[in-house]
A and B are shown apart, each in its own frame.
Chain A
Amino acid sequence: MSTTSEAPKRRGKAPAGERVADWADGRLGIYGLAKANMRKIFPDHWSFMLGEVCLYSFIIIILTGVYLTLFFHPSMAEVTYHGAYVPMQGVHMSEAYASTLDISFDVRGGLLMRQIHHWAALVFLVGMFVHMMRVFFTGAFRKPREINWLFGFLLLVLGMFTGFTGYSLPDDLLSGTGIRFMEGAVLSVPVVGTYLAFFIFGGEFPGTEIIPRFFVAHVLLLPGIMLGLVVAHLILVFYHKHTQFAGPGRTEKNVVGMPLLPVYMAKAGGFFFLVFGIIAIISATFTINPVWVLGPYRPDQVSTNAQPDWYMGFSEGLIRAMPGWEIVLPGGYTLALGVFIPLMIFPLILAAIAVYPFIESWVTGDKREHHILDRPRNAPTRTAFGMAWLSLYFVCLIGGGNDLWATHFHLSINAITWFVRIGFFAVPVITFIVTKRICLGLQRRDREKVLHGRESGIIKRLPHGEFVEVHEPLSQEQLHTLTAHEQYKPLEIGPEVDENGVARKVGRVQKLRARLSRGYYGEGNQIPKPTVEEYKELTSGHGH
C-alpha cells in the first residue's frame, strides 16, 4: 500500500523483511492476498492428508524426473552396449535402453533417482485413487465442488497415461510388450485402426518413433496439463474452503480448524518431507522395475508374468477376461470385438464414477452448497454405488493378474478367468446390496445409540435377579454429531391427475427421477434419524 500523509510516522527504517514485503506488495498486492489467506482455517482429519500425499508425490516426481532427463536418451537407434553392467555387454539394444542402464549403473545416485521416480509415481496414483474415494464416500463432490471433482478425475486419468508413457520409455522387454499391447488395441478400432496405428508408430510396429513421441508426451505434454490442473485444483480448494465433518460448533456456514500460519504450514510442510523421506527409504531398500534383468525389447521375446503397473491392471483384466469375439463382415472387414469392447469399457468404467456427482444432484434436485461431509453410512445408496464400482475395479484387477493368482495360489487360470467373466457382472450387484444393508444397519445402531445411550460394559444385577447392561446417555456433543446429517424425502411426482381432474403430463425422465429418488431416500432405503420427541419420550420416563 502506498504511503500517504496519514500513515503513522516511524522512527528509523522498517525491518528488512517488511521492506521486501512492501516492495512486493507495491507490485503484486501481496498484503491483500495474505490478509485473506495467511490465517486461513483448515479443518483437521486424517483423511484430508490423502490429497496432500498426491501433491507431494507429484512434486517429487517432477524433481526426480528433471534429473533423469539429464541422462536419458529417448532414441530407438540400435547400439551395442559397452557400459558397466557386464551381463549386457555386447548386446544390441536401443539407445533408450542403454541410457537407462547407464543411469542405473554408471551414474552415481542415478538408480536411486530412477527408483524414487517410479515409487513416487505408484504412490501418486494410489494417493489419487484413495483421495478420490475419500471425496466420493463423504460426498465432498457436492455443490460447489463438482468442477474440482472433474479436475481431480482428469488428473487421475492423465496420471495413468503419464505413468504408462513413463514406464514404456526404458524400452525394456516388459515395457515393449506393453507398447505392443497398445498397438494391438489400436488396431482393433473399426475402420481407422490401422491408420491410427501407423500414425502413432510412424509406420509399422515398433518403428523408431514411438519412444521419442512417448518421451515428449511424458515429460512435457501430459505433466504440463497436469501441472495446470493441479494449480487449478488447489486454487479451488482455497476458494471453496475445505469441507469438514459434522461436530459441535461446525456448521455449513463456518469452517473450524487450525490457521494456515503457523500450524497448518508446519504440519503440511512437514508432511511433504515425511512423504519424500519415506519414498526415499523405500527406494533405498526395494528394487523397482529392474530393467537390466529383463533385457532390451525384441518383438519376438517376452517374459512370463508380464504385468503393467498396478493402475493399468484393471484394463489388463478386461482384455484378459473378454472372450475372443471376432466378426467378419461382408466385404472382407473384421470387427475385433474381443479387443475393441474392453477398449471401450475401460473409459466407461472411469466415466461412471466421474459423472456420478451430476446424477446424484439431478436425483436430489439439491441446489444448495454443502460443506459438511456425509458419513458414508448416512448416504447408503451412494456408498453402495461406490463400493460396487470399487468391487468391479478389483474384479478387473484380479483378472489383470490372473497368471500371478494362478501361480501363487495354485489355481487354474481358466477358473480365474471364468470367475472374472461372471464376477464382472455379479460381484458389483452383490456388493451393492450388501453395502446398503451394512449402511442401514449402522444407521440403526446410531439411532439406538442416540436414543438409548452408549453400551458401558457395566453389568448390573437388579433386585429381582435380572442382569442388565448399563447404558450411558450421550453428551450433547455426541447427540448433535450423530443427528446432524440431513435426510432427503423421496421426490413425489404427485397424482396422475391435477385438482381439476385433468391428466397431468409427467415426462418419462421425471418418472425415472422419482423412481431413483425413491431408491435413494424411500422407505427402507434410509433409517429415519431420531427426533427430539422420541428422545424425550425415552429419556424422561425411565432413566437407564
Chain B
Amino acid sequence: MSSHTGTHEDENLPGERETAHGEVANRENPFADPGLPPHEPRKQDIDERAAKRSERTVALLFTVSMLATIGFIASYVIFPIDQMVTIWPLGKISALNFSLGMTLGIALFCIGAGAVHWGRTLMSDHELIGERHPIEADEETKQKVLADFHQGAKESQIGRRKLVRNTMFGALALVPLSGVVLLRDLGPLPEDKLRHTAWAKGKMLVNQNTGEPLRPEDITVGTLAFAQPEGLEEGSHDFQKEIAKAAVMLVRLEPNDIKDKRELDWSHEGIVAFSRICTHVGCPVTLYEQQTHHVLCPCHQSTFDLADGARVIFGPAGHPLPQLRISVNDEGYLVAEDDFAEPVGPTFWERG
C-alpha cells in the first residue's frame, strides 16, 4: 500500500489489513487469513491413465482441426458460389458460406479447445504467489527527479528569459492554425442552398414509379402518390442531392376535410402535395393511414396530419412538413406553382 499523506483526511479510512499472507490459522482471530489452501491433486496428477486420456483428447482435437482446414479448402473448390442448400433449422442458405464458415469455425475452435484442455488437465495447476510492489517512487528517487528537472529548467533559462518563453508559446499556439485553415475547402459554404429545391413555377409533377407526368385524375382517394419534379433523371450527377430535398407525396382529400385554410388554397381539387422529407432529421415519410390522413415517419415515428397543414401530432418532429403549392397547366398536368415557401427537411440554425 502506498504511504499515507498523513493529513487529517485519512481518518475516515479503514485500517490496513491486519494480516499478511501466509499467516497460519489463528485461534485469536478466526477471520484471519489462513493462507493459501494446500494444493489438491487432479485425477491426471495421480492416475497416468487419466493423463493419457487427456493427452489423446487434446491430440484428437488438434487432428479434427487439421481435417477441418482440409475441409475448408475442399469446400472452396467444390461448392459454386451461387449454390443454395436447405439446412434445418436454418432454411435455405448459401452452401459455400455455410461450409466455409463451419469448417473454419471448427478448425479454430478445436485448436482453442485442445489448448485449453491441455492447460487445464496436463499443465501444472499449482497456484503461485507473485509479489506486488508499490508504484509510487520512493522519496529519494522523487527528489532526484525534481532536482534534475530544476537543473534542466535552470540551464535552459526558460524561467529567466521570459521573452523567449512567451514568443515560443505564441508560435506554438499559432502554428496549428494552418491546419485549421486547410480544412476550409472540406465543403462549400451553406449560403441559401438549403432553402431551394428543384421545384419552380410550372414544373410538372412526375410519378416516381412510372416516370410519367401526373394528372389530377391519377390521384385517387386513399392512396399516397410519390412525385418528383420533371427533368430529374435517376443516375444523373445531381439526382441524389436533388431528390433529397424535392421528394413530395400527393394525396386526394375531400376539400371539406381540409382544416387548414392555406392548405386548401394551395391544393387542387383536394389534391395536396407535401414534402416527404421529415422535418425531424430527414428520413422520408412513407407510412399513410388513409382513414385519418396521418402520415408517419418510419425512422422516429413523427406523425403528421395531412388534413391539417401536416401539423405534428406525435413524435419528435418540431414543425409541419412544408407544402408545395400546386395547380394544373394548360395540358391538364399537375404543376408546381412555386418552390417550397420554406426550407424542407431537418431544422437548422438559420432556418428562422
Contacts and interface: CB of A to CB of B under 8 A. Distances in A.
B298 A306 contact: yes
Contacts of B106: 277, 281
Given A111-B94, A199-B186, A277-B112, A319 B2 contact: no
Interface residues of B, number: 116
B10 interface: yes
Interface in B92-143: 93-94, 96-102, 104-116, 118-120, 123-125, 127-132, 134-135
B97 A115 contact: yes
A364 B14 CA distance: 10
Most B CB within 10 A of own CB, among A337, A371, A476: A476
Interface stretch (A121-129, A185-193, A223-231): A185-193
A470 B103 CA distance: 55
Interface stretch (B46-54, B168-176, B215-223, B241-249): B241-249
Contacts of B108: 273-274, 276-277, 280
Interface in A149-189: 177, 180-181, 183-185, 187-189
A296 to B, nearest CB: 10
Contacts of B234: 92
A320 B299 CA distance: 9
B318 A206 contact: no
Interface string B228-265: 10000011010111011101000000000000000000
Interface stretch (B29-37, B145-153, B324-332): B29-37
Contacts of B183: 199
A278 B105 contact: yes
Contact of A479 (B9, B30, B81): B30
B1 interface: yes
Contacts of B35: 248-249
A254 B21 contact: yes
Contacts, number: 399
B317 A41 contact: no
B301 interface: yes
A477 B36 CA distance: 9
Contacts of A88: none
Contacts of A207: 187, 241
Interface stretch (B158-166, B275-283, B333-341): B275-283
Nearest to B76: A108
B135 A369 contact: yes
B350 A194 contact: yes
A369 B2 contact: yes
A366 B13 contact: yes
Given A277-B109, A332-B352, A254 B131 contact: yes
Contacts of A40: 130
Contacts of B37: 248-249, 477
Nearest to B80: A108
A92 B235 contact: yes
B276 A300 contact: yes
Nearest to A363: B12
A106 interface: yes
B83 to A, nearest CB: 11
A455 interface: no
A317 B333 CA distance: 43
A326 B318 contact: yes
A458 B315 CA distance: 60
Interface in A503-544: 517, 521, 532, 535-536, 539
B312 interface: yes
A18 interface: no
A303 B129 CA distance: 58
Nearest to A307: B299
Given A251-B21, A403-B298, A479-B30, A284 B105 contact: yes
B10 A112 contact: no
Contacts of A115: 97, 101
Given A78-B235, A336-B348, A285 B116 contact: no
Contacts of B14: 486-489
A144 interface: yes
Contacts of B63: none
A196 B10 CA distance: 50
A241 interface: yes
A284 B100 contact: yes
A294 B90 CA distance: 21
Given A184-B345, A304-B298, A492 B12 contact: yes
Interface string A215-258: 00000000000000000000000011100000011111111111
Contact of B101 (A281, A326, A335): A281
A183 B287 CA distance: 22
Interface in B7-36: 9-14, 17, 19-22, 25, 28-36
A369 B134 contact: yes
A414 B316 CA distance: 11
A193 B349 contact: yes
Contacts of A239: 135
A255 to B, nearest CB: 5
Contact of B12 (A195, A490, A535): A490
Contacts of B177: none
Contacts of B247: 299-300
A308 to B, nearest CB: 10
Interface stretch (A22-30, A261-269, A351-359, A381-389): A261-269
Given A198-B189, A253-B21, A532 B31 contact: yes
Given A193-B348, A300-B284, A262 B119 contact: yes
Contact of B109 (A187, A278, A320, A521): A278
Most A CB within 10 A of own CB, among B34, B36, B82, B119: B119
A299 B197 CA distance: 14
Contact of B300 (A108, A304, A320): A320
A323 interface: yes
A413 B301 CA distance: 8
Given A108-B96, A200-B186, A177 B31 contact: no
A338 B317 contact: yes
Contact of A332 (B31, B105, B134, B350): B350
Given A205-B241, A319-B300, A479 B31 contact: yes
A320 B104 CA distance: 41
Contacts of A532: 28-31
A521 B120 CA distance: 42
A202 interface: yes
A267 B119 contact: yes
A326 B112 CA distance: 56
B181 to A, nearest CB: 13
B84 to A, nearest CB: 12
30 contacts: A78-B235, A109-B100, A111-B97, A183-B281, A188-B347, A198-B190, A205-B241, A206-B244, A207-B187, A250-B21, A251-B33, A255-B132, A266-B115, A272-B112, A275-B112, A277-B107, A280-B108, A281-B101, A281-B102, A285-B98, A287-B93, A301-B284, A338-B347, A365-B9, A368-B13, A476-B30, A476-B31, A489-B13, A489-B14, A532-B30
Interface of A: 39-41, 78, 80, 84, 92, 105-106, 108-109, 111-112, 115-116, 143-144, 177, 180-181, 183-185, 187-195, 197-207, 209, 239-241, 248-259, 262-263, 266-267, 269-281, 283-287, 298-306, 319-326, 328, 332-339, 364-369, 371, 402-403, 413-414, 417, 450, 476-477, 479-480, 483-484, 486-492, 517, 521, 532, 535-536, 539
Given A333-B349, A536-B30, 12 more contacts: A184-B280, A194-B350, A251-B19, A256-B127, A271-B112, A274-B112, A320-B315, A365-B10, A368-B2, A369-B2, A486-B17, A521-B12
